[in-house]
Each structure stands twice: as C-alpha cells, then as structure tokens.
C-alpha cells in the first residue's frame, strides 16, 4: 500500500508539471483550481476507477463528472496520461479546432462523458447516471468533483436531495474545498460552511479529509464504495494552486496562467516538492 501511495504521489507531481506546462502554453485557462483538484483526479484515474482508455465507451467503466469544469486541465492531463489521446494534444488546449475545449466537452474528447463548465449542474448529471446504472443492475460507480464556491448554486442542493432520496449509493461527490473562488474567500463572498454538516443534513454519508494526502483520499474512496444506502460526499480540504508557492492560496491565480517568468520557478518548485 505504501508503495502504491508513493507511486500515486509521484504521478500527481508529474500531472502538476503537465498542468503548469499546458497552461503556460495555452496562456488561457484556470491554474489554481486545477492544481487543487489534481490529487483527487489522480487517485480516481490511476487507482479507483474502472475504465479502459483503449475503449472510452466501455460499458463496464465507472463514470466521472468534473462539475467544476474550469479545472479541465486537471482532467485533460490525467486522460492524456492514461492514453485516451496523445500528450501532444495538451498543447492545443483552448485552440481553434482543438478537441480540448476550454471546458469539458463530451462531443470531442475521448473519455469525457458529459459537458460541464456552467457551475452547479454536474451533480445532477452524475446522479442521473447513477440512477440509470442502478436501473440496469450495474455495479459501476459515478464520481463527481465539485468546487466549494460552486456549492452556492441552488441546483447542487436539489441534486443532493434527490441523490439521497433515491439512495444513490453508487454516487460519490468529492468537494474540492480550497476556500477560494474568483472574488476571494468563499466564506466572505457567500459562506457555505459547514459543507460537511450540510451534506449530512441532506442524508449523505460524509467523510472529511485532507485533499492532498493520497493515503486519506484512497481510504475515503474505499469507504465511500463500502457505504450502502446513501451517496457519499468526500469533503476535501485543499489548497488552491497547491504545489507551486507562487500560486498557492491566491484567488488572483484562479483564471490566470503561468507567464514566462514564472514558469521556471513553478517547474523547479514541482521538481523539489517530491
């Protein structure tokens, strides 16, 4: 297990490097929220989820919804690393004619099942998939990653209510709780705390973790899978911009990409942060 965790940590480090390089190249996209979510995305794609990059539409796959769609780079680097498409494609992020749209688009990108980017809608779609898979008597699970600012959207709570009502225990929501949104602290813009208490009150199984501790992420995903009768919310405390001190905990790096001056320092930092 220790070895597995070390492997995943190394993978996450490399994915962080890929995110920084991709965003530097595109000079457009979201840095902070991609770096805060990447450990969870990494644990899902390289440890937890059943999926088959050679056959993106494989029936037996678990499903993934990046509800906070602006963190698309975190998803794209993971998909590329899995082999859903060549890593070179990452350099075309957000370019005209590229299949890597600014926000996840199921029409063009292998491995992407639903369109996201308009915040607050992903959990509804994830629960719809969970309901459909259950109807077919399938064991497949559905994972959705949401932002904490995103929880301000009322539709999230409509979905939370419905998932608990229909006992969607094949559904797991991971909340990337980095405490920041565009205009600043989530607590100051529109306080959503306590996230855990809210999900619990809606009838969910709730697990609180450090979203950058690979051991905790994996343990939580295992617990979620074992829990029957209710969906699980993993409320992950994270750091926006995690891994690059230049970007850490800075709301100003939400939708800003690394510039030429920052790139060497960012990469050096990721090399040292092993």
Partner 1 sequence: MIATRDAYGEALAELGGENDKIVALDADLSGSTKTAVFAKKFPNRFFNMGIAEANMVGTAAGLAAVGKIPFLSTFAIFAAGRGWEQIRQSVAYPKANVKIVATHGGVTVGEDGGSHQSVEDVAIMRAIPNMTVIVPADGEETKGAIRAAAAYKGPVYVRLGRNKVPSVFPAGHKFEIGKGVVVVPGTDLTFITTGLMTAAAVTAAEKLKAEGISARVLHIGTVKPLDKELVLQAAQETGAIVTAEEHSVVGGLGGAVAEFLGETCPTLMKRVGIHDRFGTSGKSDELLKYFGLNAETLIEEAREIVSRKK
Ligand X SMILES: Cc1ncc(C[n+]2csc(CCOP(=O)(O)OP(=O)(O)O)c2C)c(N)n1
Binding footprint of partner 1 on the chain (CB under 8 A) = 63, 105-107, 113-118, 121-133, 135-136, 154-155, 158-159, 161-162, 165-166
Q: What is the rounded distance in angstroms from the CA atom of residue 138 to the CA atom of residue 208?
A: 28
Residue 144 dihedral angles phi and psi, to the nearest 5°: -130, 135
Residues recorded for the chain? 274
Return the number of the residue (138 or 268) whose C-beta is nearest partner 1.
138
Question: Of 64, 23, 16, which Cα lies nearest the Cα of 245?
Answer: 16
Contact 125, 117 (CB under 8 A): no
Please report, for the chain, how many H helices and E strands are present, in that order: 9, 7
Contact 251, 183 (CB under 8 A): yes
Return the number of the residue (168 or 178) whose C-beta is nearest ligand X.
178
Q: Which of residues 183-242 bind ligand X (CB under 6 A)?
A: 186, 240
Of all residues in the shown chain, the one whose CB is closest to ligand X is: 147
User: Which of partner 1, ligand X, none binds 246 (CB below 5-8 Å, type-dependent)?
Assistant: none
Question: Of 40, 47, 50, 23, which Cα lies nearest the Cα of 142?
Answer: 50
Return the number of the residue (169 or 176) whose C-beta is nearest ligand X.
176
Does 104 help bind ligand X (rule: CB under 6 A)? no
Q: Which stretch binds ligand X (CB under 6 A): 5-13, 17-25, 167-175, 178-186?
A: 178-186
Among 28, 118, 252, 259, binds ligand X (CB under 6 A): 118
Q: Which stretch binds ligand X (CB under 6 A): 54-62, 115-123, 128-136, 200-208?
A: 115-123
Q: What is the rounded distance in angstroms from the CA atom of residue 29 to the CA atom of residue 44?
A: 22
Residues at the interface with ligand X (CB under 6 A) = 32-33, 36, 68, 70, 117-120, 147-150, 176, 178, 180-182, 186, 240, 254
């Amino acid at each position: 297990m220790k070895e597995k965790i070390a492997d995943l940590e190394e993978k996450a480090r490399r994915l962080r490097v890929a995110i920084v390089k991709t965003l530097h190249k595109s000079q457009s996209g979201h840095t902070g929220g991609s770096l805060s979510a990447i450990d969870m995305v990494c644990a899902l794609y390289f440890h937890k989820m059943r999926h088959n990059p050679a056959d993106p539409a494989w029936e037996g796959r678990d499903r993934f919804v990046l509800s906070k769609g602006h963190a698309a780079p975190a998803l794209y680097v993971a998909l590329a690393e899995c082999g859903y498409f060549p890593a070179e494609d990452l350099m075309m992020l957000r370019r005209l004619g590229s299949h890597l749209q600014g926000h996840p688009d199921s029409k063009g990108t292998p491995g992407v099942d639903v369109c996201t980017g308009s915040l607050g809608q992903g959990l509804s779609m994830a629960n719809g998939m969970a309901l459909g898979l259950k109807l077919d008597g399938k064991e497949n699970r559905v994972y959705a990653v949401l932002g904490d600012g995103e929880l301000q959207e009322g539709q999230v709570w409509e979905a939370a209510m419905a998932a608990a009502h229909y006992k969607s225990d094949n559904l797991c929501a991971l909340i990337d709780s980095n405490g920041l949104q565009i205009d600043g602290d989530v607590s100051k813009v529109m306080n959503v705390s306590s996230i855990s208490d809210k999900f619990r009150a809606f009838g969910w199984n709730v697990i609180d973790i450090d979203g950058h501790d690979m051991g905790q992420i994996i343990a939580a995903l295992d617990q979620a899978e074992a829990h029957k009768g209710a969906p699980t919310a993993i409320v992950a405390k994270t750091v926006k911009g995690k891994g690059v001190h230049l970007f850490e905990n800075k709301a100003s790096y939400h939708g800003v990409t690394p510039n030429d001056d920052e790139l060497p320092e960012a990469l050096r930092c990721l090399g040292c942060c092993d």
